Chains A and B, each alone.
Chain A
Amino acid sequence: KAGVTQTPRYLIKTRGQQVTLSCSPISGHRSVSWYQQTPGQGLQFLFEYFSETQRNKGNFPGRFSGRQFSNSRSEMNVSTLELGDSALYLCASSLQDQETQYFGPGTRLLVL
C-alpha cells in the first residue's frame, strides 16, 4: 500500500496570510491526526478526525482548523499566520483506535 502523503512539502507565507495543508492517509485508514513539530517542543497534537468527525482537539488557538472528507483525506487550515506558526506539520493515519500511527513526510511551513 502507498504510505501517507502530504502536500505541499514546503510552503513560504507571510504574516497574516492563511494556508491549507493536505493529507492523504493509507488506503483503508479512517483516523487522521495532525501534529505540529518544532525544535525543542516535540510533537504537539493539533486534532484527530475519524469518519469526517473531529474527535479530539489539542490546545491550539481557533486559527487552526481542519476537516476530513468522505474518502478520509484531511486538510488543515491556519488563518492569520504568525511567525510562531513556522514548523513542520505532520499528519498520521491509523486503521483504528490504539493501532500504530503512520506518519506522512510533513509539510514544512515558513512564515516570514
Chain B
Amino acid sequence: GENVEQHPSTLSVQEGDSAVIKCTYSDSASNYFPWYKQELGKRPQLIIDIRSNVGEKKDQRIAVTLNKTAKHFSLHITETQPEDSAVYFCAASKGNQFYFGTGTSLTVIP
C-alpha cells in the first residue's frame, strides 16, 4: 500500500517568515494530493490540493509543488501570520483511499 512521510513534525517560524512542509509518497499511481489544516479542537479543513498533471498551484499565500519523478510534494506558506498556527496534514490518494502523513505542528511566533 501507499506510505506517506511528512517532515518536519514540528516547525516554529517568526511572523512574516515562510514555512515549508514536505511529504513523500511511495506509490507512483497516487494522483491526488490534498493538504489539510487542523486547528486545535477542530476538524481538518482542506486548504489546497494538487493533481498529478500539475506541477504547482497557488492560492494567495499558500502554494503546493509536486515532483512526480521524485514522488514528493511540498506546502509553502509565505508571510506567515499567527492564525496559520495549526497542525497540517498532507495526503496522497489514488481512487477512493486516502493516505495521510503524520502531521506538522506549525507555530507562528508574533
B-contact bits for A29-47, CB 8 A (1 contact / 0 none): 0010101000011110100
Closest to B100 in A: A43
- Contact assessment for B45 and A103 in the assembled complex, using a CB-CB cutoff below 8 Å: yes
- A48 contacts chain B at the CB level, 8 A cutoff: yes
A40: B residues at CB distance < 8 A: 102
Q: What is the size category of the interface that chain A forms with chain B?
A: 20 to 34
Q: What is the size category of the interface that chain B forms with chain A?
A: 20 to 34
- Contact assessment for A42 and B102 in the assembled complex, using a CB-CB cutoff below 8 Å: yes
Closest to B31 in A: A98
CB distance from B36 to the nearest CB of A (A): 8
Closest to B49 in A: A100
A45: B residues at CB distance < 8 A: 97-100
CB distance from A10 to the nearest CB of B (A): 12
- Contact assessment for B32 and A43 in the assembled complex, using a CB-CB cutoff below 8 Å: no
Closest to B90 in A: A42
A66: B residues at CB distance < 8 A: none
A-contact bits for B39-79, CB 8 A (1 contact / 0 none): 00011111001010000000000000000000000000000
Partner of A33, one of B34, B42, B94, B98: B98
Cα distance A34–B45 when bound, in Å? 15
A106: B residues at CB distance < 8 A: 43
B94: A residues at CB distance < 8 A: 98
- Contact assessment for A97 and B95 in the assembled complex, using a CB-CB cutoff below 8 Å: yes
- Contact assessment for A48 and B44 in the assembled complex, using a CB-CB cutoff below 8 Å: no
- Contact assessment for A105 and B46 in the assembled complex, using a CB-CB cutoff below 8 Å: no
A31: B residues at CB distance < 8 A: 96
- Contact assessment for A56 and B96 in the assembled complex, using a CB-CB cutoff below 8 Å: yes
B residues near A (Cβ < 8 Å) are: 6, 31-32, 34, 36, 42-46, 49, 51, 89, 93-103
